[in-house]
Amino acid sequence: MADFLEILTHGRRLKAQVKELELDELKDVIAKLQKIAEEREAEAEAEEAAQAERLAKIEAIRKQLEEDGISVDELNALEGATPRRKRAPRPPKYQIEVDGEMITWTGQGRTPKAIKEKLDQGHSLEEFLIEQ
C-alpha cells in the first residue's frame, strides 16, 4: 500500500505507471479520482457544518444559563453532588459446615463447591437455609 501511495503522490513515477494506459482509460481513472475527491470534500463540509451546529447549540445553552443566573461551575458542582453509593453486601442466606468451617452463600453468583456437591447428592437447597 505504501508503494501505491508513493507512486500516486510522485509525479514522474505516476507518469511512468500510466504510460501504458490508453487515453480513454486514463480519463476514466481521472474521473474516478475526481469523484473520490468530491466525496471527500462533501464529507468534510458536512462534518464542518455539524460541528458549527453543535457549537451554536452550546452557545445557546450557555446564554440561557447566563440569563437564568446559573454558572457552569454550579453545573459541574452538581455532577459530583450525588456520588453513587455502594449497596450494602447481601446477608448470607445459606450455610454449610465442612470440616469445622462454616461456608455461607447469599444465593446469588456461583454456588459454593460444598453446597453444589450436596445438591448433586440429592439434598435440597432448603436444608442449608439460615434460620432467622
Tell me whether residue 109 is exposed, middle or buried, using C-beta atoms within 10 angstroms of its C-beta: 0 to 12, 13 to 18, 19 or more.
exposed
Between CA 50 and CA 93 the distance in angstroms is 55
Mean pLDDT across the stretch 71-84? 71
pLDDT higher than 80, residue 81: no
pLDDT higher than 80, residue 76: no
Q: 17-70 pLDDT, tens per residue?
A: 888 889 999 999 999 999 999 999 999 999 999 999 999 999 999 899 889 888
Mean pLDDT across the stretch 113-117? 91
pLDDT higher than 70, residue 122: yes
